[in-house]
Amino acid sequence: MMRLRTGVTLMLTAGLMVVAGCGSDDAGQAGGDRTLTIAYQKFGNFVHADNHFIRVKDEFEAVHEDVTVELVPIEAAQNDYFTKLALMHGSESTAPDVMYEDTFMIKSDVDAGYLLPLDEYLDEWDEWDQFFDNAKVAGAGDDGSIYGIPMGTDTRALWYNTELFEQAGIPLPWEPATWEDLLDTARTIQRELPDVVPLNVYSGKPMGEASAMQGFQMLLYGTEDRLYDEETQTWIVGSQGFTDSLEFVQTIFDEGLAPTPQQALDSNMGSTVGAQWLPEGELAIALDGSWLSGVWLETGERAWPEWNDVMAQAPMPTQHGQEPGAVSMSGGWTLAIGAQTKEPELAWEFVKLSLDQPNSLSYNKAASQIAVREDVAEDPEYVEANPSFEFFSGIVDVTHFRPATSDYPQISNEIQVAMESVMTGQQAPDEAAAVYDEAVERIVGADRITGAR
């Protein structure tokens, strides 16, 4: 995390002070004697968080008349969001009481002293039993304490435009069994529909964790190799799967099957894919998340009533079609309480209200999230809300999770560097993999790596 949190310019700091001071349009109007600040990402596909917290703010202030809930939406792409949130924690005057926290950041933020352990509150919260056990673990620190309460989870797969497939003469439903099947389909799109981008796989540093997780790791976990050995708690280097995954990235960019490197290295790429290219028929296949259809709902960034008639989903295949035949990655966001809060009890009341059954149901529907509460997952209103829920819930059996370690964010950064160097032609896949291996050893130490460099 040190690379993420150092070298920040004075301009960024000044910009943060403006963000932290403004809040949302509705913030600060209740005029209460006590203030509770809520920080979250408001960018691209994350507009649903803004709608959620505006609603919860109104509910909370109606019950707590002496409290003003100040919403602090941070309009920034993922890496910049984490950086700005870290800057907020640097001062008691800007540190948030409650924050939108990605599960992969929890352990490093616990190590940095940013988060408050929630165990004593959870012991008294009877609704905690409604959360699935694997979702609970996602908010745990290395010490076993819980620091984040899950809002929902997700899986990842291939979204494809059936109208474009029909124009290109590709049979439906489409079910690629190997990486080569996927590449061959992209080549057909390129040949038959030259004005359409065949395939998008997020890559490079500007897209941050989207590149590392739903780009690279969706490839790596479809090989015979992994990123981390859970049994020995060591990072794997020198793997053929790592190099093969980079070769896939090289192939799609070298052959023009992907967006141009200039397009792919735009931090707004996630919004471009969901709100522009897919609904406008400019992209045929997107390796993306279960939440994507939330962009197209009436409450989303780009309402598209016809999306379910046009878009279909297929599991991401393993490299050679080997068992289990498909692969997915899962993550999700939590609500956490800042360690510097002066109002821990009040902050916990806000978290509880935000994630009770009605508000969790509302958020999961709007953001197209896989429910982490049993009473939400079984609610007919949730089940019927989105026709893609059944597909994305059905690939949970083949999903994987990022390594739950405090040094993972630094490793993720090195994956992004390797992808970018390959997609831009600066390094061959084996060269980029070797640089990655050296970086991993430098970060974690020689005693925490497995494999030969």
For residue 298, what pLDDT band results from cuts at 50, 70 and 90? Answer: confident
Domain match, 186 and 299 both:
yes
The residue from 349, 378, 397 where one domain ends is 397
The CATH code of the domain that includes 258 is 3.40.190.10
Going along 338-384, which residue ranges are E strands?
none
Please check whether residue 437 lies inside any domain of the structure.
no
Please check whether residue 452 lies inside any domain of the structure.
no
Q: What is the DSSP letter of 295?
A: G
Predicted structure pTM score: 0.84
Pairing status of strand 234-236 against strand 449-450: parallel
Enclosing domain of residue 13: 2-153+332-397
Kindly state the average pLDDT of the residues 102-130: 96
Domain match, 167 and 310 both:
yes
The answer to whether residues 46 and 53 touch, using CB atoms and an 8 Å cutoff, is no
Cα(74)–Cα(37) distance, rounded to whole angstroms?
12
Please check whether residue 214 lies inside any domain of the structure.
yes
The residue from 330, 351, 368 where one domain ends is 330
- Maximum average pLDDT range among 21-25, 173-177, 383-387: 173-177
**31 pLDDT above the threshold of 90:** no
Which amino acid appears at position 8 of this protein? V
Please check whether residue 58 lies inside any domain of the structure.
yes
Q: How many residues does the chain have?
A: 453
For residue 13, what pLDDT band results from cuts at 50, 70 and 90? Answer: very low
User: Which pLDDT score, from 0 to 100, does residue 20 have?
Assistant: 42
Domain match, 127 and 16 both:
yes
Please check whether residue 339 lies inside any domain of the structure.
yes
Please check whether residue 428 lies inside any domain of the structure.
no
Domain match, 250 and 120 both:
no
For residue 299, what pLDDT band results from cuts at 50, 70 and 90? Answer: confident
Number of domains in the chain: 2
Domain match, 162 and 310 both:
yes
How many Å is the Cα radius of gyration of the chain?
A: 22
Domain match, 261 and 313 both:
yes
User: Which pLDDT score, from 0 to 100, does residue 32 have?
Assistant: 64
Please check whether residue 444 lies inside any domain of the structure.
no
Angle of helix 179-192 relative to helix 240-254, nearest 10 degrees? 10
Domain match, 149 and 163 both:
no
